[in-house]
Structures are given as structure tokens and as C-alpha cells.
């Protein structure tokens, strides 16, 4: 089945750098996905509400300000509370290795740091979505 993958690209928190988020948004669009970009300064609540209304498959969070340990797990938690555990949360930006492990244990998908090839992000999302859809069909 060739359903179009929908992705919400969001910048939670106060950091004002969204070049990376924009590059990712364009790359995902060129890879055939529908991308909704929420813009800067979003609270985790706003990100989750937008993700629910847009019924996205993936929430891609970007953080360059060091506040990722507050925002990323909160987004995951709110999504789960809202019954949207199926949504994949991935991260990008600057996050120390030790934090990455902890985020991963909290249900956040892979993290993409500086220098990432956008193709890696696209491949990862495709793999995850294919796996999830296979699971759903089995269930």
C-alpha cells in the first residue's frame, strides 16, 4: 500500500534556530512525504495537539538550545496519553551522547546530529513506517 507518510516538523521551546528544521522539512517533502512545519517557539502541548489534528505518522523535533531533555520526553508522554503511541518521535539538533541513550529509553526514536545526510533520515523513517505497517496488518 502506498500511503503518503505525514510528518510534523516542530521546534519546541525558546530556541530560535530553525535552519536545520527547514532543511529537513524540504528533504522529506522531496522524498514524497507531506510535511507540516509548525514554526518556532512551540510548547510540547502545542506540538502534540498539532500532531493529533494533522494525524501524522512522525513527529520530528529539533532542538539546539539544550532543552531537549525537558521537551522531547514530554512530547512522547503527551502523545501516549492522547492514545497516539503509534506516532514515531525522532529528534535532530545538538544532543550529547549520554542524553541520546536516555531519550531512546524513553521511547524517542533515532537522533540525528549535525552533519547528518538527509538520506539517512529518509531511509530511517521509511524503514520504521514499513515495520509499523507490517505490524498493524498482522495485528
Partner 1 sequence: MAQAMVSALIDSFRQGDRLALARLITLVENRASARDEIIDSILPLAGQAYRIGITGPPGSGKSTLLEELLLKYRKDGKSLGVIAVDPSSPFSGGALLGDRLRMRRAGADPGVFIRSLGSRGALGGLSEAADMALDLLDAFGMERVFVETVGVGQSELDVAENAYTTVVVLVPESGDQIQTMKAGLMEIGDVFVVNKTDREGAGRMMEALELSLEESPAREGWKPPVLGTCAKTAEGVLELQAAIESHREHISQYGKLGNLRKEIGLRRIHKAVSSSVTRALWSDPRRAKLLDRGLDQWLSGAVAFGELVESLLPEGLHAKSQGEGDE
**For helices 19-30 and 118-138, angle between their N-to-C axes, nearest 10 degrees:** 60
Q: Which of 52, 44, 38 is nearest to 13 (CA)?
A: 44
Q: CB-wise, 28 or 95, nearer to partner 1?
A: 28
**For helices 97-105 and 68-81, angle between their N-to-C axes, nearest 10 degrees:** 10
Q: Is 30 in the site for partner 1 (CB under 8 A)?
A: yes
Q: Is 53 in the site for partner 1 (CB under 8 A)?
A: yes
Q: Rounded to the nearest whole angstrom, what is the least distance from the CB of residue 137 to partner 1 in the complex?
A: 9
Q: Is 131 in the site for partner 1 (CB under 8 A)?
A: no
Taking every pair of Cα atoms in the chain, the longest distance, rounded to a whole number of angstroms, is 43
Subset of residues 72 to 111 that bind partner 1, contact rule: CB under 8 A: 82-84
Displacement of CA 99 from its chain's centroid (Å): 16
**Looking at 21-29, 60-68, 91-99, 124-132, which segment touches partner 1 (CB under 8 A)?**
21-29
99 within 8 A of 91, measured Cβ to Cβ:
no
Binding residue for partner 1, selected from 49, 77, 99, 102, defined by CB under 8 A: 49
> By the criterion CB under 8 A, which residues form the site for partner 1?
3-4, 6, 25-26, 28-39, 42, 46, 49-50, 52-55, 82-84
Amino acid at each position: 500500500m502506498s500511503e503518503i507518510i505525514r510528518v510534523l516538523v516542530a521546534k519546541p521551546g525558546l530556541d530560535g534556530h530553525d535552519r536545520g528544521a527547514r532543511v529537513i522539512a524540504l528533504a522529506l517533502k522531496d522524498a514524497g512525504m507531506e510535511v507540516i512545519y509548525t514554526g518556532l517557539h512551540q510548547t510540547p502541548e502545542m506540538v502534540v495537539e498539532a500532531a493529533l489534528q494533522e494525524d501524522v505518522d512522525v513527529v520530528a523535533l529539533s532542538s539546539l538550545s539544550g532543552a531537549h531533555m525537558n521537551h522531547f520526553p514530554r512530547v512522547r508522554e503527551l502523545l501516549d496519553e492522547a492514545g497516539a503511541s503509534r506516532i514515531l518521535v525522532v529528534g535532530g539538533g545538538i544532543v550529547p551522547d549520554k542524553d541520546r541513550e536516555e531519550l531512546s529509553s524513553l521511547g524517542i526514536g533515532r537522533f540525528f546530529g549535525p552533519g547528518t545526510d538527509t538520506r539517512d533520515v529518509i531511509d530511517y523513517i521509511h524503514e520504521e513506517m514499513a515495520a509499523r505497517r507490517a505490524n498493524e496488518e498482522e495485528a
